[in-house]
Chains A and B, each alone.
Chain A
Amino acid sequence: AQTVTQSQPEMSVQEAETVTLSCTYDTSESDYYLFWYKQPPSRQMILVIRQEAYKQQNATENRFSVNFQKAAKSFSLKISDSQLGDAAMYFCAYRSGYGSSNTGKLIFGQGTTLQVKP
């Protein structure tokens, strides 16, 4: 079975600085997707960034980028130029690829609460 682990329950960053959130996962599959979701106090789950396992290039979305280390099964999220609006809980998630019977399921980590200090 696949698992996702976020070992940092809480992180803080100064506004305008850079912070990295860690995520590790365990799987025996070769085809899968990895995601970072943001959950602000409104409770809405917002997709921040996604990475296809078959792509070697790290995904980037504006100030958000990932460091995808497939062999190490590591998927960290880097937030550059942190803004007050980035304060939220962040979840790392895994989903099997299309060849798997598990493809309907998202497996989430425990979450990391990010505080942004002005």
Chain B
Amino acid sequence: NAGVTQTPKFQVLKTGQSMTLQCAQDMNHEYMSWYRQDPGMGLRLIHYSVGAGITDQGEVPNGYNVSRSTTEDFPLRLLSAAPSQTSVYFCASRKGSGTEAFFGQGTRLTVV
């Protein structure tokens, strides 16, 4: 059982480059979310989805896009990377009727 899989685990980008962080879950969970973790700020919600075809903004959505074409996948796109987007990114999923959220192992992104 793979759970929530994030790729890549580490990434270095130059300012202005674009990239996609991948997130896939094999538990048929309806809810999927992206968070960023910064020192002293905990985890903050970027975007979330309550099902295929449905996405919404979280607390810090600027500079990021998401789509949810399938139940399994929820990629996060950085349109034009900025140093302020240097962070650790987590994807999480949860069954609609469930309580517990399951997290991927995170992606450490550095923008230089």
Contacts and interface: CB of A to CB of B under 8 A. Distances in A.
Interface residues on A, range: 20 to 34
A96 to B, nearest CB: 12
User: In this complex, which of A43, A44, A93, A110 has the most chain B Cβ atoms within 10 angstroms of its Cβ?
Assistant: A43
A106 B40 contact: no
A47 B100 contact: yes
A105 B48 CA distance: 8
Interface of B is mostly: strand
Contacts, number: 52
B58 interface: yes
B50 A104 contact: yes
B2 interface: no
Interface of B: 31, 33, 35, 40-45, 48-50, 56, 58, 88, 90, 92, 94, 99-101, 103, 105-106, 108
